Amino acid sequence: MTTLPSGAALAGKVAIVTGGATGIGRAIAARFVEAGASVVIAGRNAGVLQKTAIEIGCHAVAADVTREEEVKRLVAETLAKFGGVDILVNNAGVTGQVAKAEDLDIAQWDETMAINIRGTILCIKHVVPSMRARGGGAIINMSSLMGLRGYPMRSAYTATKFAVIGITEAVAQEVGIDNIRVNALCPGAVNGELMQRVIAARVAAENRPAEEIIRVNYTDKAALRRWVEPEEVAESALFLASAASSPLTGERIKVDAGRM
């Protein structure tokens, strides 16, 4: 994908990126800042959020997206500081338990549902009115390849990411009349701390070396024979946030190095 000129694509826009302190969220927030947007990052760890905000030049709001009052406060603080919201990236999420269905801890299942699904819809609920008032906007929901196809040992995460696709398609039909576009990104195996935690859990559950799991289950399954980098996902998010994708809504875009 061609990189859009820094400082141009999102000039004058205001964006909220949930889960914006680390990994994919941080990469997206940083790319949006480069492209001229005023960016608010949200997450539960105030210390890490503030550090990231200073490093990339954005504003931080500590908020738990599973709690409606905190989501309302996140949006209210964004409106007070920047006057509106043009872009929402629903990136906050957890990987869920790596286990067979019969071995699931239902408390962990519930937490995964709350963060990945409830958090997504709460942010949409409270951002849409401000986008409507601005004359439109772009919502980018972070799904996954596991939102398109089930994967063993990952039923909790898979369920949430299928739900995110459903939310994307439903809400796109609701808000298109308001010039609000809603699309989903479906990354494959993205290099970084989150993926390393998944690998570690699989090592423990499957009694296989990490190098074998990475090669057999991830990189060798990709046409490009490699991981996806967070910055590459950020470029796709920039495309969906910008006017370059103006006719696209209700879509899901794979960012997966050609994983089969």
Provide the annotated active-site residues. Answer: 157
In this structure, are residues 181 and 192 in contact, taking their beta carbons and an 8 Å threshold? no
In this structure, are residues 87 and 14 in contact, taking their beta carbons and an 8 Å threshold? yes
**168: part of which helix (H) or strand (E)?**
helix 155-175
Distance of alpha carbon 221 from alpha carbon 258, whole angstroms: 8
User: Tokens at residue 110, please?
Assistant: 């519930």
In this structure, are residues 204 and 164 in contact, taking their beta carbons and an 8 Å threshold? no
In this structure, are residues 153 and 100 in contact, taking their beta carbons and an 8 Å threshold? yes
Nearest to 67 by CA among 118, 16, 21: 118
Nearest to 3 by CA among 235, 237, 230, 245: 235
User: E strands within the chain?
Assistant: 14-18, 38-43, 59-62, 87-90, 137-142, 180-187, 252-255
Strand partners, 138: 87, 181
Distance of alpha carbon 185 from alpha carbon 202, whole angstroms: 24
- The CA R_g of the chain, rounded to the nearest whole Å, is 18
User: Tokens at residue 174, please?
Assistant: 């609701």
